[in-house]
Amino acid sequence: MEKYTNLAKDIVTNVGGKENIVSLKHCITRLRFKLKDESIANDDILNNMDGVVTVMKAGGQYQVVIGNHVTQVFDEVNQVLGITDTTDSDNSEENVEKHWHNSIEILVPILGKVEIWDNGHMIRSQNVDVYIINSKNIHGISFVSGYEVYKGYGIQINYDYIKSIFPLIDHYEFVQPDGEVSREIVRTIYRIVDIYDDDKEYGHIAIKGLTDILMYILLKKLLVRKKYVLQENEINNNKIVKIVNYIDQHYKENLSIQVLADHFYVSQSYLSRYFKQNFGTTIKKYIDSVRLEKAINDILHTNLSMTDIAYNNSFANPKSFNRIFKRIYKMTPHEYRKLLK
């Protein structure tokens, strides 16, 4: 595509030209250059270039953040460089820690391989066209080393929206689709993504209609009543849900392991060990993830400053918010807002 070709040429020129590039990889959102001399790269020009979110320097790499179109730009850069093997990628920092939410999540793997951890079960992305994560399921994603960069789409459907359509949803869940139902879901999600990318002004109207179609498919063809015979791991999950529900409801307070241990009448050591064994992460990291989720909602749907967002969501200070956000999302909150708006 011509716009990516021109962008690729401009990027190569402003990182110092072909002769300054030692190697190139890409992850989900960025080009990762290893340059002979980073000082001759034109940071200001790249930062202000249409199609580039920002540039970053980390781990001996000169990183050009592109966003969702990084694969196309990567291919065009390799064409400019005269490289035909375009499978080099880096997934080492992109794992998604275990977490849960009320929303229904639908994943559509496109390229590469990941392992999806869902309530104690491991699913390999290459074995499914689409995967549904039900409400409150504890889940995470691990990227498989040695394979090309992973690309996929993920859509979360608000639980309250589902409940407004189907009030009995608390007693039901969705089974995994296959065959033509999978293809219907994939086609619908592709249309949602295309409209989101191409029409920022009126696209939300069409996206609302397509989301209704998606819900029709889920409710009509994949809805089943929940089974209430609790196994041991399900009982553990119920205990965990009580803990994470408390965190979700009190995330703006001064939460600590001591506060939680006192509330649930257990020792700090027991609570820390139990949470890590059953949820796969520490309590501190989970509290951070809840606050980040709330902060992202503020980033996307308000014009609040990052300082206000940090304090509104109980981060110790803006510097702490910035550090935690960057550790999880590999970019700053400002870069994230610029990428998605």
Does residue 165 lie within any of the structural domains? yes
List the one residue out of 102, 217, 242, 214 whose CA is nearest residue 163: 102
Does residue 105 lie within any of the structural domains? yes
What is the dihedral sign for C-alpha 195, 200, 203, 207? positive
Domain count, the chain: 3
Does residue 87 lie within any of the structural domains? no
Whether 186 and 238 share a structural domain: no
Does residue 90 lie within any of the structural domains? no
Strand spans (E) along the chain = 21-26, 30-35, 54-58, 61-65, 96-99, 104-111, 114-118, 121-124, 131-133, 139-143, 151-157, 172-174, 223-225
Whether 105 and 51 share a structural domain: no
Whether 130 and 75 share a structural domain: no
Q: Are 325 and 336 in contact (CB under 8 A)?
A: yes
Whether 237 and 120 share a structural domain: no
Whether 153 and 267 share a structural domain: no
CA distances from 12 to 50, 77, 83, 109, 149 (A): 14, 7, 13, 30, 21
- For the beta carbon of residue 99, count every other beta carbon within 10 angstroms: 18
Q: Which structural domain, as residue segments, surrounds residue 184?
A: 96-225
Identity of the amino acid at 263: H
Q: What is the mean pLDDT of each run of 10 residues along the chain (341 residues)?
A: 82 92 78 88 89 78 81 86 56 60 86 78 84 86 62 83 88 90 91 77 85 93 71 54 83 89 89 80 85 85 90 92 83 79 54
CA distances from 256 to 7, 228, 251, 284, 293 (A): 47, 33, 10, 8, 18
Cα 120 to Cα 278: distance, rounded to the nearest angstrom: 9
Whether 124 and 148 share a structural domain: yes
Does residue 321 lie within any of the structural domains? yes
Residue 10 confidence (pLDDT): 93
Whether 112 and 210 share a structural domain: yes
Residues 6+ apart with CB under 8 A from 247: 255, 260, 283, 286, 287, 290
Q: Are 66 and 51 in contact (CB under 8 A)?
A: yes
- With 0.75 as the threshold, say if the pTM is over it: no
Whether 240 and 332 share a structural domain: yes
Burial class of residue 19 in the structure, from the number of CB atoms within 10 Å of its CB (0-12 exposed, 13-18 middle, 19+ buried): exposed
Residue 93 has phi, psi (to 5 degrees) of -115, 20
Q: What is the CATH number of the domain that holds 71?
A: 3.30.1360.60
CA distances from 73 to 26, 83, 128, 198 (A): 10, 13, 27, 17
Q: Are 225 and 168 in contact (CB under 8 A)?
A: no
CA distances from 261 to 238, 267, 271, 274, 282 (A): 17, 6, 6, 11, 14
**Residues paired with residue 174 on neighbouring β-strands, in sequence order:** 223
Residue 47 confidence (pLDDT): 85
Residue 119, classed as helix, strand or coil, is coil
Cα 91 from chain centre: 13
Residue 94 confidence (pLDDT): 52
